[in-house]
Structure 1
């Protein structure tokens, strides 16, 4: 039969010292019901409970386990976890610390039992983001790594992870968190513009660039952003506006980089190439000079590869007839024939040099050799080509 409540030793709130704590411990362990023992424990002061716990931590493991159940019944989950620590009950210890809201302690217990996934989540929930980041990296959980990096205020690093994962939407969101004062702010804006343009949101990319340039005098003067604005304007067929941007740069004594590397890197299907793969691709390209009036691409013929315009302008016509409609005029930064690199299809329009043109050219044969020797780059290029093609089909059907 359980002792009655009348038989429970009274614990005075004035009692102190080791003797009072020991007596309280002995009283608790002598009771036959957890509920009664828990009630007695609840009546102890905070200082008395702490002394009791310190003393109980030196007791044998079976005593600690029994007292832990009393404390759990009293809803002192943290104290119950402390008493179980070192008893080979780390899974229970972790669960108790979670109940107590002590997530970092719970994470440490999860690590001791080898449950790294729960440990990482508990570290993150407890605000120990650097610890969580380390565990997530050990697990190879790239998305969780990226999320932690954003929460740690390291969005550019997070964006690099999303780039490796092939998640352009998440990459844009992360890049959007890079602050204006960051040394990589301009690079982030340029990358966002390229991603948005590649996904078919050229107008949105241009609006982002305009907002960025309005926000800061120093940023507005950056020639890379101005050159990107000109490129996007050309993409939208706004050749006059693009030329005005280039003219302003020239008037300021700034000559946009014209070796073609930046132009080549901005082409959507090359948007996920690594630095090494991008440099190797650039080495495949050759500069060519095209005289004014020469036909660059002829409608209906087999594609001959990619042209990236560095100097001069070309005109795009709907057909080969003398009265064919002029569709567009393109200048530096524009590219032609990229589809012929990955798809055997006839040229869809006639392109004629309006002025003398200097351009980068990558032939189909040269590009095929590049793909054969760069497997990872080939996979990325074909995936982006497929995505861009699907976006165009959606746009036409919409």
Structure 2
């Protein structure tokens, strides 16, 4: 019991001491001795200062503003900011929080003061990146949004924004943050190579490709990366080395296989491609085997690219339901998903393999890189795509 009593007495004594110090500070402020008051505050322990701040928070606004000046003299900037809560001095409070290194508190004060630009910067500086991203988006500050996305571990989204902003250097830096295990890593490497080459850094692009191919078995088997390496080698006048790269590709990519190449060439949107452009497009394609019963395309899902049937048959259904109506059965030479190459739209029907199927596949990422590096071909493809789409619309309206 005596021990508890002593703790109570001691606690009451500390509280009384804090109240006495607060009164002493207020008296010194009344005498316009702010520097002396600041020295008195500096001599307090951390616990005493905290108790004094809690007690001072109950004082009238005018007294808290005066005491805040004293704490600023003593360089307790965060404490000085706390005393301004509810005093209508949010800008001053925010500045004090910045001086005290409490950036998130500063950001909230900047928001209350109607200064969102400074709030966003303070959130970012304080590591509250999601809050910073939210404010930057509200401001329409797209460059800062992209920067936050990269810092948040979402570099591909940041790179897309930098691309829209026409900042290739920043886009390359963002794409370089896409990790090797990410599904968009190869797409990112291809885009980086194109950008570096366009800026005159072809050797750097080749070095990036070499590192990527060396580090990943998946990358070594990707025909789009091999085709890009060959293109860059040709750009540097190394035609023999480029041909050697092409020769090491699987048979269907190194030379046109009669059916696959001819089937691809027969697709209307590729009808005006030159021989070399057509060969380069064929090199981007990869043969895939699809077991009987597998769903190749799902209605409503995002498009995954183009399939050209080489062997086997597929059924096309109106939807995913068990009683969905079968629209068609397609075989060798038929193609699926070409619209998804040039337009981000959901799949319009379900496609299921009736037998085992061998097909050529061109992914959206591989095709996008092809368009980026074959400007003339891209113009022809988009023109024919537009014409074919217009013809379909006319057919539906008659």
Question: Which residue of structure 2 lines up, in the alignment, with residue 310 of structure 1?
Answer: 279
CA contact (8 A) 2:273 2:380 kept: no
Question: Which residue of structure 2 lines up, in the alignment, with residue 72 of structure 1?
Answer: 72
Question: Which residue of structure 1 lines up, in the alignment, with residue 271 of structure 2?
Answer: 286
Aligned with 2:278: secondary structure? strand
TM-score, length-scaled by structure 2: 0.61
Shift of 1:311: 7.8
Question: Which residue of structure 2 lines up, in the alignment, with residue 166 of structure 1?
Answer: 166
Question: Which residue of structure 1 lines up, in the alignment, with residue 145 of structure 2?
Answer: 145
Shift of 1:253: 8.6
Q: Separation in 1 of the partners of 2:378 and 2:111?
A: 55
Aligned equivalent of 2:27, options 30, 37, 40 = 30
| Structure 1 residues 144 and 363, CA gap change in structure 2 (3 angstroms) | closer
Listed as ranges, the gaps of 5+ residues in structure 1 are 1-12, 264-281, 291-306, 313-332, 342-358, 374-398
Shift of 1:118: 0.7
Matched, 1:135 2:131: no
Q: Separation in 1 of the partners of 2:135 and 2:252?
A: 51
| Structure 1 residues 256 and 87, CA gap change in structure 2 (3 angstroms) | farther
Question: Which residue of structure 2 lines up, in the alignment, with residue 362 of structure 1?
Answer: 380
Aligned equivalent of 2:18, options 21, 26, 31 = 21
Shift of 1:284: 5.2
The RMSD of aligned alpha carbons is: 4.0
Aligned with 2:250: secondary structure? helix
Question: Which residue of structure 2 lines up, in the alignment, with residue 241 of structure 1?
Answer: 241
CA contact (8 A) 2:214 2:220 kept: yes
| Structure 1 residues 165 and 204, CA gap change in structure 2 (3 angstroms) | same
Listed as ranges, the gaps of 5+ residues in structure 2 are 1-9, 282-368, 391-398
CA contact (8 A) 2:149 2:157 kept: yes
CA contact (8 A) 1:309 1:360 kept: no
Shift of 1:53: 0.7
CA contact (8 A) 1:308 1:360 kept: no
Moved more, 69-78 or 90-99: 69-78
Q: Separation in 2 of the partners of 1:119 and 1:20?
A: 38
Aligned with 1:249: secondary structure? coil
Q: Separation in 1 of the partners of 2:218 and 2:101?
A: 47
CA contact (8 A) 1:104 1:123 kept: yes
| Structure 1 residues 14 and 247, CA gap change in structure 2 (3 angstroms) | same
| Structure 1 residues 34 and 283, CA gap change in structure 2 (3 angstroms) | farther
Q: Separation in 2 of the partners of 1:152 and 1:16?
A: 49
Shift of 1:149: 2.3
Shift of 1:200: 4.0
Per-residue Cα deviation, 1:150-170 (whole angstroms, up to 9, x for no partner): 323332222111101011122
Aligned with 1:26: secondary structure? helix
| Structure 1 residues 111 and 36, CA gap change in structure 2 (3 angstroms) | same
